[in-house]
Chains A and B, each alone.
Chain A
Amino acid sequence: GAVVSQHPSWVICKSGTSVKIECRSLDFQATTMFWYRQFPKKSLMLMATSNEGSKATYEQGVEKDKFLINHASLTLSTLTVTSAHPEDSSFYICSALRELSYNEQFFGPGTRLTVL
């Protein structure tokens, strides 16, 4: 169990357009999900914490108006990259927190975004 999916797995878009990435917990409910960004050959950088039914908490330096997060249900969080530019090209990874005896994050397979 504890599977997290992302859709799409890759996307190519033109500069100025917006792109939505979905993160779903398939077999458990997740009040909390996380969005990470990863540049080539670099580590994962936490962008924001997505909380079901409330506003996301963004890390310092992450533009909340640029990266819109919506966590409308216990199994779905979305990240929308608005007015995308080439510098937004990256690998975006989400994780979902399963709250049991102790909390554990399960990661999605990632979404490769390329902005032309």
Chain B
Amino acid sequence: GESVGLHLPTLSVQEGDNSIINCAYSNSASDYFIWYKQESGKGPQFIIDIRSNMDKRQGQRVTVLLNKTVKHLSLQIAATQPGDSAVYFCAENMNTGFQKLVFGTGTRLLVSP
């Protein structure tokens, strides 16, 4: 079936380092991808998105890269801070017309001071 998965369940970094979180997706028809941050006991928080007609998009300290050839998505966080510690999910829009999102398994980012 269609799925979105992540390579690393936990990523530990030092404060100030750059973090890269990866995601693989399997539905080549998906046209929209989003990265969410979820802190413990809270709902997902939008970080950045990218459409399938782009391969890179930058925000404040974050960059999303999309490689449609290998169906790979990554989130880069520059100068990682302790406040970035959370679980990060990628999600893909299945392009079914109903705006359904399929979430990946998640990566926990731990930032040490």
Q: A43-B89, A43-B106 are in contact. Are A110 and B43 (CB under 8 A)?
A: yes
User: Are B43 and A97 interface neighbours, CB within 8 A?
Assistant: no
User: A107 near B98 (CB under 8 angstroms)?
Assistant: no
Known: A43-B89, A44-B89, A49-B98. A107 touches B45 (CB 8 A): yes
Q: How many residues of A contact B (CB 8 A)?
A: 25
In the assembled complex, B13 has its CB within 8 A of some CB on chain A:
no
Query: A107 to B44, alpha carbons, bound, how many Å?
Result: 6
Interface string of B92-113 (1 = CB under 8 A from A): 0000001111111110000000
State the CA gap A104–B32 with chains docked (Å).
Answer: 10
Nearest-neighbor residue (CB-CB) of A4 within chain B: B43
Q: Which residues of B are found within 8 Å of A97, using beta-carbon distances?
A: 99
Contacts of B104 in A (CB 8 A): 43
Q: Is the CB of B42 within 8 A of A110?
A: yes
Chain B contacts for A42, CB-based, 8 A = 105-106
B101: min CB distance to chain A, Å: 6
CA distance A108 to B41 in the complex (A): 11
13 contacts between A and B (CB under 8 A): A42-B105, A43-B104, A43-B106, A44-B89, A46-B101, A49-B98, A49-B100, A102-B32, A103-B99, A104-B49, A109-B43, A110-B41, A110-B42
Given A32-B99, A43-B104, A46-B101, 12 more A-B residue pairs with CB atoms under 8 Å apart are: A4-B43, A32-B98, A34-B101, A43-B106, A46-B100, A91-B41, A93-B44, A95-B43, A107-B36, A107-B46, A110-B41, A112-B41
Binding site for A on B (CB under 8 A): 32, 36, 41-46, 49, 89, 98-106
What are the 9 closest A-B residue pairs judged by CB atoms, nearest first? A107-B43, A44-B103, A43-B103, A109-B43, A110-B43, A107-B44, A103-B99, A93-B43, A43-B105
